[in-house]
Amino acid sequence: MIGKFTPIMQALPPDAALADVSGSTRYFDRDAAGLAALIRMRAAAVHDLDVTVEHRPEPAARPARRAPREPGAVRAVPDDPEAITLFLAGLPAGALPGVGPATACTLASYGLRTADQIAATPLLTLQRILGTATGRRIRERAAGISPARVTPGAPPRTFSAEHRVVPTSSAPPDNAPP
């Protein structure tokens, strides 16, 4: 359905997608937040789905993807570095791309538990804690800067599967002898 608004989209399993609507705003005569509202309305009308649509500038797309979302809403983040930092404020360090459990633990030992705390930390300090390249990369992610772009048709970077185990009853059937 998003393909009716833009050909530049990328699946994000299990239940999300990124779409670059920058080329569609003029065609539909709407800003990106207006297009998000239109996509949400069409999803409700055609598929009877209440979806959450977010508009944020591309540099904030990857880190903000893991930010908490309220279901069934349109949320827009202005294209302003201060607004992006405010948007990411309170996001746990472990939710930033490239921050695994070990890095999150290291950052927490220095009192850096949220994205806004990491973004406010001087770059040299982060580089001393995490190393030159990692410190720079984590600080950029905490400020909402990501070099990744929406890649149409790209295979997902991760796959997940869920296998549900149906519990079996240990009680004997009703017609079994005692």
Residue ranges of domains in the chain, CATH in brackets? 80-148 (1.10.150.20)
pLDDT in tens, 111-164: 999 988 998 999 999 999 999 999 999 998 888 777 666 666 666 666 666 667
What is the distance between the alpha carbons of residues 117 and 107, in angstroms, rounded to a whole number? 10
- For 147, other C-beta atoms within 10 Å of its C-beta total 9
Query: Residue 54 pLDDT more than 70?
Result: no
pLDDT in tens, 70-91: 556 666 666 677 777 777 788 8
Confidence check: pLDDT of 175 > 70: no
> Quick one: which of 177, 107, 105 has its CA closest to 142?
107
pTM for this structure? 0.54
Residue 30 has pLDDT above 60, yes or no: yes
